[in-house]
């Protein structure tokens, strides 16, 4: 009989396990499994002009790279019986990642302000760590600034007074209609 392995047992020292809700599209078609490594991408809706009615353009940025997947659904790394998993199917509505505490804050921020997508990495890729192009604090400040500008533009558009067009009276002949 297999021993039940807990999430706390597979979470490395100094790291945190964070579970994010996903769907098949946001989690590589539901093919991500415990033990895989993923990149985490943030998708944010940003308006590019002052026109509030303009459709928002997606702003996409890699948040974290080469992050270990500890669990998918209720299946924890090291506790999967491949034949049982194949028969019953694995619930892929949530993925648990191993992150350092600072990266947890970044993921929570990204989930609050936008959407999170997971990109499955090849097993042969050996880049280690959670490399970001900006620090978590810099990235949060940057995205907050973009969203604040968007809100200000929408408010400005909402409070903008419509232009009053001058009334021009035209002189012309009087017309009478007879029936």
88-112 tens-digit pLDDT: 555 668 899 999 998 999 999 899 8
pLDDT for 145: 81
CA 173, CA 171: separation in Å to the nearest integer? 7
Please give the full DSSP string across 10-45, using - where no structure is assigned: HSPTT-EEEEEE--TTTBGGGT--TT-EEEEEEEEE
The SS3 assignment for 90 reads coil
Residue in the block written with tokens 């990204």:
110
- pLDDT tens string for the chain (179 positions)? 556 888 898 999 999 999 998 877 666 767 888 999 999 999 888 765 555 566 777 888 888 999 999 999 888 887 755 544 444 555 668 899 999 998 999 999 899 888 999 998 988 886 655 554 567 777 778 777 877 777 777 677 777 666 666 666 666 666 666 76
Tell me the C-alpha to C-alpha distance, in Å, between residue 26 and each of 36, 38, 92, 138.
15, 12, 10, 25
CA 1 – CA 3 distance, rounded (Å): 7
CA neighbor of 27 nearest in space, from 81, 91, 93: 93
Q: Within 10 Å of residue 7's Cβ, how many Cβ atoms?
A: 16
């Amino acid at each position: 009989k297999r021993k039940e392995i807990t999430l706390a047992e597979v979470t490395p020292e100094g790291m945190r396990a964070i579970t994010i809700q996903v769907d098949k599209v946001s989690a590589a078609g539901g093919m991500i499994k415990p033990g895989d490594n993923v990149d985490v991408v943030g998708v944010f809706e940003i308006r590019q002009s002052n026109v509030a009615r303009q459709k928002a353009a997606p702003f996409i940025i890699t948040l974290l790279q080469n992050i270990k997947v500890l669990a998918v659904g209720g299946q924890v790394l090291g506790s999967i019986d491949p034949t049982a998993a194949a028969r019953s199917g694995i619930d892929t509505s949530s993925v648990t990642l191993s992150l350092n505490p600072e990266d947890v804050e970044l993921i929570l921020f990204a989930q609050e302000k936008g959407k999170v997508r997971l990109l499955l990495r090849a097993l042969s890729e050996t880049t280690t760590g959670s490399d970001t192009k900006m620090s978590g604090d810099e990235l949060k400040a940057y995205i907050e600034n973009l969203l604040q500008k968007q809100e200000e533009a929408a408010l400005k558009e909402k409070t903008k007074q419509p232009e009053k067009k001058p009334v021009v009276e035209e002189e012309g002949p009087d017309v009478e209609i007879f029936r």
